[in-house]
Structure 1
Amino acid sequence: MTRLAFSTLPCDGWSLEDMIQLAKKCGFSTMELREGTNWGISAEMNAQERQLTVQKFEEAELRISNIGSSVCFTGHEGDQEQLNQFQKVASLASDLKARGVRVFLGYFRNRRDHSVPAIHYPQIVKSVQEACDYAGAYNVQVWVETHNEFATGRSLKKLLEDVDRSNCAVIYDIIHPLEEDELPLDTIALLGSKLAHVHIKDGTPFDDPMELSWKYTKVGEGQVPIKTIIQQLELAGYRGCYSLEWETKWRKELQIPGMSPEIVFPLYIAFMRNACQSLKKRGSYL
């Protein structure tokens, strides 16, 4: 199971040592590090702290897939500040030997009846290009997550074409295109080789039709066709990680007993092992 990862998002307040220990205990090979002092790493770390972090991961024989930044470009005022933060995180990613830095585009909203400003698309393209050009000097990629106004393969395919940078790729968060009624097969076909990383999660639609987001569940207990998505990704040639993004920090439905990382992470490993048994016969080595 060399391609299973998890985001450290639910490990808010943990030490890096505790996160690494849990990763080893559960059988993960890779970690996706949330950037921020509450998650054990930060863009403000000095050179010695960065070197020590690399050493900890090498000793544990764990890889760092990417840095999960909170950088978000909207095409409006504030993008320069976001770009400044991105540059700090790109330097951190390079020092920690991570392949990419996750960024968001657009505005966050959970309900259809919540209005947000119109995005300024040309400026978003420009901001992503500037991020890519800066990251390229560090041999780091910019990973745009399927989210907000850019949740679908349809929207991101055009963005990738307009950005036109070889180090611009996509994190396929498998629940968000579904929330926008885009089928996984279509998302995968549209984004193809630009899929660098996959966020695994599960859920069900809320009863309220105004809710844009789905209600999250444990993996395997919702309506996201995870096993089918994995099969389609493997057939399409995807060879990146499958990373559990357990959003305890943001989701009330996950902030209840029985939903802690210590409980959920082993269940995720077991689910993925079961899901991938048939794929091994086709030459996949998850």
Structure 2
Amino acid sequence: MNRRDFLLALPAIHFAWKMKPKPLKLSFSTLGCPEWTWEDILRNAKNLGYQGIEIRGLGKEIDLTKCSEFSPSNIATTLQKTKDSNLKIINLGSSANLHFHEGNKRQEQLDHAKKYIDLAEKLACPYIRVFPNNLPKEYSKEATLEKIASALLELSQYAKGSKVKILLETHGDVVQADDLLVIMKSVNRKNVGLIWDFFNMFIITRQSPIAMYQALKDHIAHVHLKDGIVKADGSFQYTFLGQGNSPITEVIKILKENHYKGYYSFEWEKRWHPELPAPELAFPEFVKYMQQ
């Protein structure tokens, strides 16, 4: 191609470059690899083509504040190893449940979440996860939703001045889009949002992904992806993505078409379901499916 033809072709080249789809940002939860060390996690994430890591326990320890990798003496080394692997810690999965109405149990959950906010700030991690989680029968649903919202407000205030955002996962009894929307509208803080786990919602509500998304889209900051065979009686069996009967393809299509910029995070619940295939099989399958 001569210089003149090249210059004439530049607009088309530029347009094609702009239109080329960007690769999706992929992460996985350490829930799926409970037997891996931190070095194993970093090596496999890098080699398999992931960009992010969502930490939900390490080894036998589920509470990250008790893991030696994140102790004051080791945290700088952990961060440097992560950076050297061109990976980012994107979310810390706490066990905090916000449905408690009063007493020591409620305070314990809030204190646990606050420790995760502190750790996330030290790790330059943008998110921590909390659960809604139950709807106790001795209280009205409205009263419990208010308690969850007030807990989020307290955590929001605690995180003020940091770059950490508190994300409520669509989980447990609180998976109806209308209930989640009540909580989010009641809180209405920039540093509070949602983790959209469509599968947690779908197995109970059978609501279409587009209906879920339209209701919650203004609050979705992070996404969990998993698939399974959902049975008529409400039970289910986890599968690799694309091998179940949930509308996983539709979920990804909706997110892409609406220019979702966050991570697509694979939540393989190997820690809770030891019978599931090993992460050495599941994690590459997720990347393959997402690339397709």
With the length of structure 1 as denominator, give the TM-score of the two structures.
0.85
Q: CA deviation at 1:39?
A: 5.8
- Would the aligned equivalents of 1:153 and 1:190 in 2 still touch at CA under 8 Å? yes
Aligned ranges for residues 166-177 of structure 1 at < 5 Å? Answer: 166-177=190-201
Alignment-derived partner of residue 188 in structure 1: 213
Does 2:24 match 1:12? no
More off after superposition, 130-139 vs 77-86: 130-139
Percent of aligned pairs with the same amino acid: 31
Partner Cα separation in structure 2 for residue 152 and residue 273 of structure 1: 31
Does 2:287 match 1:269? yes
Partner Cα separation in structure 2 for residue 267 and residue 37 of structure 1: 22
Partner Cα separation in structure 2 for residue 201 and residue 82 of structure 1: 26
2:80 to 55, 76, 99: 55
Q: CA deviation at 1:138?
A: 2.3
2:267 to 230, 245, 250: 245
Does 2:54 match 1:29? no
Q: Find the structure with the greater CA-based Rg.
A: 2
- Would the aligned equivalents of 1:67 and 1:101 in 2 still touch at CA under 8 Å? yes
Aligned ranges for residues 21-100 of structure 1 at < 5 Å? Answer: 21-35=43-57, 38=60, 42-44=64-66, 45-76=70-101, 77=103, 78-100=105-127
Q: C-alpha deviations, 1:44-98, integer Å up to 9, x for none?
A: 4432322111111100010111101111111324111011011111111111111
Alignment-derived partner of residue 182 in structure 2: 158
Q: 1:40 to 1:96 in 2, by over 3 A?
A: farther
Q: 1:41 to 1:57 in 2, by over 3 A?
A: farther
Q: 1:248 to 1:35 in 2, by over 3 A?
A: closer
Amino acid at match of 2:149: V
Q: 1:136 to 1:38 in 2, by over 3 A?
A: farther
Partner Cα separation in structure 2 for residue 201 and residue 122 of structure 1: 29
Q: Segments of 4+ in structure 1 off by > 6 A?
A: none
Alignment-derived partner of residue 239 in structure 2: 217
Partner Cα separation in structure 2 for residue 21 and residue 178 of structure 1: 33
Q: CA deviation at 1:106?
A: 2.1
Aligned pairs, number: 261
Partner Cα separation in structure 2 for residue 138 and residue 163 of structure 1: 18
Alignment-derived partner of residue 229 in structure 2: 204
Amino acid at match of 2:115: K
Amino acid at match of 1:268: F
Amino acid at match of 1:272: M
User: What secondary structure sits across from 2:228 in the alignment?
Assistant: strand
Q: C-alpha deviations, 1:174-202, integer Å up to 9, x for none?
A: 20221212210011111113111111100
With the length of structure 2 as denominator, give the TM-score of the two structures.
0.83
Q: C-alpha deviations, 1:98-122, integer Å up to 9, x for none?
A: 11100101229xxxxxx86546232
Partner Cα separation in structure 1 for residue 62 and residue 153 of structure 2: 29
Amino acid at match of 2:96: V
User: What secondary structure sits across from 2:54 in the alignment?
Assistant: strand
Runs (5+) with no aligned partner, structure 1 = 109-114, 275-286
Amino acid at match of 1:51: A
Alignment-derived partner of residue 11 in structure 2: none
Q: 1:51 to 1:116 in 2, by over 3 A?
A: farther
Alignment-derived partner of residue 15 in structure 2: none
- Would the aligned equivalents of 2:24 and 2:264 in 1 still touch at CA under 8 Å? no
Does 2:160 match 1:136? yes
